Structure 1
């Protein structure tokens, strides 16, 4: 009752071919074992039809049970994949008939038992990604591997970035997008965000304090003195008083300017500051509504985009940067490589020493993954069902038989051998019962 070896191996490469060969060997072994049991039964029955020899009786019983076990298992296994001997017996060819049901059950089993939200989140929690990330980044071996990976792929990336085709594409695309940009509305939106809820006050205070410090420096006073001296009337220059007067004026100007700026920084209700802040909403409104202002901004944008010197300058800086990066990567003592290794170890060490940050990172990962689990689980479920349903019945049968057919043929072999063992045991039991009955009858007589 040999099952025909698969005539067409489903696609899958050498692995499927090896599985098909293993399946064929197992089928041949199971068949030979069954044929051996049949030969023993037939031969011994011909040799001793009445089984007078107890050993003949034992082996006949074993071979008979082996045939029953082997044939039963053969029928059950074949019935999974096709109709035994081509006979359309009920409840056979189970897999081809139940293809869609198998697809649905397989998808449900995988998604419900392996991709359930609790299972996935528990696995992420058990994995502890933040701690693993910290340990790996802090490891010298890992940081070296990261740096080596960057250095390995950098030349190809440099070649791509240095190509004239890519640069021209980026330049043309950027110009096109920037030319379509509404500078006025974008500036208005930026200023609105900047001034919302008084966020700009801190920046203005910092800027005014920096200007005050700048006017208080010796370099600034000397510069102002030189400018004022150069503008003083010639009479003072003739009597050599221009420098002295300039120094005196400079000191007064710098002190007054510094006092004014410091007052603006310290007093948010200062008249000049209030005037400036009151102008901001009006300027934002002009950016949105004044055609003349918007046109000037667009003209400025277009002049910048059409400025060939600016474009050449940016291109020069870009090429110099790429040349330096190439030279550095070619150097065994690459600064970039050392920087990557140092950054990796530093990030890993800092993260490893900060349990609160690790807890936050783990929570962030869990909260980020959580809403997508259900969505992608259903997509995976649909994909599995559609993929299995797309197979023909023959293809599905072939794939499953290749995957588990070898083990099923081992069941056939075991069924034959276990049947023989059970047949021998039953024969022994029957002989023992017969002996007991005969002994009992002899004792009664």
Structure 2
């Protein structure tokens, strides 16, 4: 399909048919009124050629003015859309001749008066998107509608995500991208961000505290005792002291290990922690430059990507997740639906109670929209001009006549009626002047 065809005038639909019927009816009424005026003029003139009867003169004057008014308005209206009676009179068929000019003027009028930057920004300020968003989210009715919308369309998304074609596409694409990834540089970058400004200390402290608690548990102590007893069995089995000695050694090892780990967690200047800290920059440099380490990381990456068990396990987790989502979304008491409603109301309530956040959000919307107003205004301008210019003159004329023709025919009808009234008034005025003049001469 060509671009011109895509931009052609829309086909006549039900609305246009109604307009066409209304326009035809108004044309018939206007034409009947004009013909009635002509009939009155001709009939009364034939009845009283000299218009000796004042009443005949009045109605003839009214019919004559009605014909003039009706014909003048008919000519003016027809001249907008086509040449009257097919005669190429100057300044007629104005719309077909000015199609491109109309396109430019219409585009300029809309874009300059409705889509100016200040107009758009002012409307956004009046709209107050942050406040409307807060009210919308906090309202239980609208939050329920939002949750219902998600639940309604989620099954289609589930069907898409569960398709073998999509999963194979994602799997293939992901493998290709990951094989091209520089694991060494990515790891170096990750560690650099993690350790920047000491961000990793909190994580290390938490990890050390967890390890200390782990070593102090009864389960860990029993495991250590079993291991130590196993190692001492060959030496102490003859004296039956393996269990007692193992328990004692385990207690000492657990206490010492816990004290060491706790000390590491509490003291950021501990010797072992400082050694670890000092080795981080060197390790980051190795990740970026050491070919042996980088090759090992790449080999590890490739083994992980080629591991069928890992791939099957991920697929299994994916299917279980989709099955759970599908089951929950089909449940009238859906947890996801409740979570969406709760999150929506919570966000809306908090946003509504935080004027600073609303001001920030409104400012963000304005700053985001601002750079695009000019760009898209020109695109809209171009689109309107292109849209109108793509229509043929006949199509544009037909559309405008359907849109305005009914009102224009009312003007034509009013021209006939107003002409009759003016004709009657002028006739009465002339009669009054005549009587006044006759009376003045009679007095003389």
> TM-score if structure 2 supplies the norm length?
0.89
Task: Give the gaps of 5 or more residues in structure 2.
Answer: 1-8
Comparing 170-179 with 205-214, which one deviates more in the overlay?
Answer: 205-214
Q: CA, structure 1 residues 427+398, in 2 after alignment: closer, same or farther (shift >3 Å)? A: same
8 Å CA contact 1:10–1:395 kept in 2: the answer is no
* 2:273 corresponds to: 273
The alpha carbon displacement at 1:110 in A equals: 0.9
* 1:42 corresponds to: 42
The alpha carbon displacement at 1:347 in A equals: 2.4
* 1:5 corresponds to: none
Matches of 1:440 and 1:223, distance apart in 2: 139
Comparing 65-74 with 135-144, which one deviates more in the overlay?
Answer: 135-144
* 2:28 corresponds to: 28
Say yes or no: does 1:87 pair with 2:87.
yes
Matches of 1:42 and 1:392, distance apart in 2: 42
The alpha carbon displacement at 1:212 in A equals: 3.8
* 1:438 corresponds to: 438
* 1:297 corresponds to: 297
The alpha carbon displacement at 1:268 in A equals: 4.1
Matches of 1:166 and 1:437, distance apart in 2: 100
Matches of 1:366 and 1:206, distance apart in 2: 43
Matches of 1:79 and 1:424, distance apart in 2: 28
Matches of 2:244 and 2:356, distance apart in 1: 63
Comparing 222-231 with 17-26, which one deviates more in the overlay?
Answer: 222-231
* 2:130 corresponds to: 130
Matches of 1:441 and 1:216, distance apart in 2: 136
Matches of 1:360 and 1:12, distance apart in 2: 48
Equivalences for 1:141-220 in 2 at 5 Å?
Answer: 141-220=141-220
8 Å CA contact 1:138–1:345 kept in 2: the answer is yes
Matches of 2:400 and 2:415, distance apart in 1: 21
| Deviations 1:159-185 (CA, angstroms, capped at 9, x unpaired) | 222222222222222222222222222
Equivalences for 1:333-412 in 2 at 5 Å?
Answer: 333-412=333-412
Matches of 2:203 and 2:37, distance apart in 1: 95
8 Å CA contact 1:10–1:16 kept in 2: the answer is no
Partner of 1:232, secondary structure, is helix
8 Å CA contact 1:10–1:398 kept in 2: the answer is no
> TM-score if structure 1 supplies the norm length?
0.89
The alpha carbon displacement at 1:313 in A equals: 1.6
| Deviations 1:9-51 (CA, angstroms, capped at 9, x unpaired) | 9624222222222222222222221111111111111211221
Matches of 1:296 and 1:400, distance apart in 2: 74
The alpha carbon displacement at 1:222 in A equals: 4.6
* 2:19 corresponds to: 19
8 Å CA contact 1:10–1:399 kept in 2: the answer is no
Matches of 2:427 and 2:222, distance apart in 1: 122
Deviation beyond 6 Å, 4+ runs, structure 1: none
Task: Give the gaps of 5 or more residues in structure 1.
Answer: 1-8
Equivalences for 1:252-271 in 2 at 5 Å?
Answer: 252-271=252-271
Matches of 1:163 and 1:413, distance apart in 2: 66
Q: CA, structure 1 residues 364+210, in 2 after alignment: closer, same or farther (shift >3 Å)? A: farther
* 2:3 corresponds to: none
Matches of 2:440 and 2:250, distance apart in 1: 140
Q: CA, structure 1 residues 360+223, in 2 after alignment: closer, same or farther (shift >3 Å)? A: farther
Partner of 1:413, secondary structure, is helix
Q: CA, structure 1 residues 266+335, in 2 after alignment: closer, same or farther (shift >3 Å)? A: closer
Q: CA, structure 1 residues 77+361, in 2 after alignment: closer, same or farther (shift >3 Å)? A: same
Q: CA, structure 1 residues 69+237, in 2 after alignment: closer, same or farther (shift >3 Å)? A: farther
